[in-house]
Amino acid sequence: MSTTGVIVTVYMCIIVGTVEFSGVTLAAKFPDVDAPQLNITYYIGNDAELYCTVANLGRNTVTWRRLSDPVPISVGTAKFTPSKKYRVAHEPATQRWTLYIKKLDTSDAGEYECRVTGHDELSQTITLIMPGNGGTHIEATESILKVDVGETVLMPCNVKNLKKHKVLWVGERGGVLAYRKKVLSSDSRLRIHHTTREEWSLRIRNVKDSDFGTYTCIVNTNPVLTRTFTLRSKGPQKQAPVLVTNNHVSTVNVKEGSPATLACNFRGHPSPKISWSARVMVGGKRVKKNLGVLGTTYKIPSARPEDGGNYTCTGRNGVYPTGRGRVKLVVEANPTTPAPRTTPATPTGPARPIVYIEDEQVMTSKGSIAYLVCHSVGNPAPQMHWTRHRNKLSNSFKHRTSNTSNGLYRQRSELRIMHLESNDYGEYECFAHNNRGNVNTSVRLVEPSK
């Protein structure tokens, strides 16, 4: 840290040694300090340098923000504030992230936080103090406190040279908890611990899950002095369910009659319970069907074409938001008998498609337009398309397709082939498919004999 033209007073440092979590290491590299808070005093008009050192970042990055401002100053080295006072630099060789603040004034006083993204517990808070408060300051103390549910916690706020200034405590959302010795919250578990003239600590008895969060002790000096505490559980932090995507299979393809296994894995704390649902056809409409709480996998011993579709897995553990994933099952139907030449009867219940053609062979001369027609019947009404050499045909200058309904369960599909050439002659396939199956027939386009 540069100290040219600047008086720097180091009281304590926020991190004791090194903190490790999930392969990420955050180390405070300030020399000759070993206690858990850092205060730095600068004079007006000078420039400040605040820094933290982070090893093993991986895909994470570092954010800087002022605790009194919800908008971060930077994410990585990208600024998110219009102020020209700030600049952030990263030195890969030293793994140092430095926040530069130009031409300090009293409004710059306060707490600044360096945080590793994705790891709330990996953070460092530095308090920037501006002279002018007549020696009034908050003693540096540990700012991250870990307790078990049911325990009593004391957040120490020791104010030196308080004089006529007042002390205020606020909660995570800015709600006033206490003013001087008086608790303004309706929660009877809260007390101000005031055993000496300097002590204005906040005590919480019988800690609950809802108590975990941030608390700030404020002294109404000019500029205002603050000390922010983070209250965390000693046990694993509660985490909403998140779908594990690195090995998630979003589409499963099986043949009719084969077993199918759909899988979703969620991480979270407590361990999420996983339920499954599917979109199925009922009365010609797709509706949601709950399959139950089945765990990480949903198994179908013998898949049928009607089992195909989208399946949703939902992870719940009581922590918002709920986690969700989706797996699409595609069931390849077994071959069917050749298409009939006569019109089949209308199905009385769910049924796979039946396709039939008007002419097995269509004869059209070069330069003309060929018309190929195919019909299908099924419940639900089938969708239809044409292929040539196993490639699906779409509308172009050469091909035109049109599908029309002939009743609730009947479809007619027409393929027009424009400006016939020699390579247009041959076999064309007509496909019809619904959630019960996939069938096809063929039409042969030939050139008239000369």
190 or 285, higher pLDDT? 190
Over the stretch 254-289, which tens digit does the pLDDT of each residue have?
988 899 999 999 998 889 999 999 987 665 566 888
Distance of alpha carbon 200 from alpha carbon 168, whole angstroms: 9
What SS3 state is found at 210? helix
Q: Pinpoint the alpha helices (H) of 264-352.
A: none
Structure tokens at 112: 């600044």
The pairing of strands 437-446 and 361-363 is parallel
Structure tokens at 194: 């005031």
List, in order of start, the domains of the chain with CATH numbers.
Answer: 1-131 (2.60.40.10), 141-236 (2.60.40.10), 239-332 (2.60.40.10), 351-446 (2.60.40.10)
What integer pLDDT is reported at residue 336 of this predicted model?
52
Give the Å distances, CA to CA, from 428 to 310, 353, 397, 411: 30, 18, 17, 18
pLDDT more than 70, % of the chain: 85
Task: Kindly state the average pLDDT of the residues 440-445.
Answer: 90
One-letter-per-residue 3-state SS of 17-42? CEEEECCEEEECCCCCCCCECEEEEC
Over the stretch 386-432, which tens digit does the pLDDT of each residue have?
998 888 898 998 999 999 988 888 999 999 999 999 889 999 999 99
List phi, psi (to 5°) of 106.
-60, -25
What integer pLDDT is reported at residue 125 of this predicted model?
83
What integer pLDDT is reported at residue 219 of this predicted model?
92
Task: Kindly state the average pLDDT of the residues 186-196.
Answer: 94
Is 80 exceeded by the pLDDT of residue 10?
no
Is 70 exceeded by the pLDDT of residue 112?
yes
Q: Are residues 225 and 218 in contact, defined by beta-carbon separation less than 8 angstroms?
A: yes
Question: What region, left, alpha or beta, does residue 197 occupy, with left being phi > 0 and alpha being psi -120 to 50 degrees?
Answer: alpha
Distance of alpha carbon 278 from alpha carbon 263, whole angstroms: 14
pTM of the model: 0.46
What integer pLDDT is reported at residue 12 of this predicted model?
29
Distance of alpha carbon 187 from alpha carbon 180, whole angstroms: 16
Task: Kindly state the average pLDDT of the residues 364-380.
Answer: 91
What integer pLDDT is reported at residue 342 of this predicted model?
62
Over the stretch 13-70, which tens digit does the pLDDT of each residue have?
222 223 332 333 333 332 222 233 355 666 667 888 888 888 888 788 899 998 878 7
